[in-house]
Amino acid sequence: MALRLILGFDYGTKQIGVAVGQAITGQARELCTLKAQNGVPDWNQVEALIKEWKPDAVVVGLPLNMDGTPSDMCVRAEKFARRLNGRFNVPFYTHDERLTTFEAKGERLARGGQKGSYRDNPVDAIAAALLLQGWLDENADLLNT
């Protein structure tokens, strides 16, 4: 099956960034940030996103350690990906998200600065777009085939 539209998730215990990517353009963009309670999102909000965007797949970022080994959060991120698959029957992929939050903070500064704290003005959706863009760049062969 060709992948035309993909949602990307930057999983976190308090916030989950969401991005959308399209195979036609090969580009990802930030969409929104979902609140989470100890890593559990409001599944009704997730369902609304899935129904609205009708993605062919989802990509969940894996927070690997800098040396490439799995971090403690990797297990939780993979569990989140499996839950997306189980609840919404959408194929999932994972992607290394090292340094995306750091890069997202730099991008926010480049756009005109950070207003307030990152808690009040999160960069999670930007990080989701960066990880999804990385996945799109590495997996062009899965798109539009």
Tell me the domain boundaries of the chain. 6-141
- Strands across the sheet with 15-22, in order? 40-41, 27-37, 15-22, 5-10, 57-62, 92-96
The two tokens of residue 24 are 């036609």
In one-letter notation, the amino acid at residue 64 is L
| Residues 6+ away with beta carbon under 8 Å from 26 | 136, 137, 140, 143
Percent of the chain scoring above 90 in pLDDT = 59
Beta strands in 27-128 (DSSP E): 27-37, 40-41, 57-62, 92-96
**Would you give the distance in Å from CA 33 to the centre of its chain?**
10
The two tokens of residue 136 are 């799109």
Does the pLDDT of residue 142 top 90, yes or no? no
At residue 112, the pLDDT reads 53
CATH of span 6-141? 3.30.420.140
> pLDDT by residue (tens digit) across 27-68?
999 999 999 999 999 999 999 999 999 999 999 999 888 788
Letter string b/e over residues 14-41, b meaning 16 or more CB atoms within 10 A of that residue's CB: ebbbbbbbbbeeeebbbbebbebeeeeb
Q: How many C-beta atoms surround the C-beta of residue 5 within 10 A?
A: 14
Q: How confident is the model at residue 1 (pLDDT cuts 50, 70, 90)?
A: low
Percent of the chain scoring above 70 in pLDDT = 81
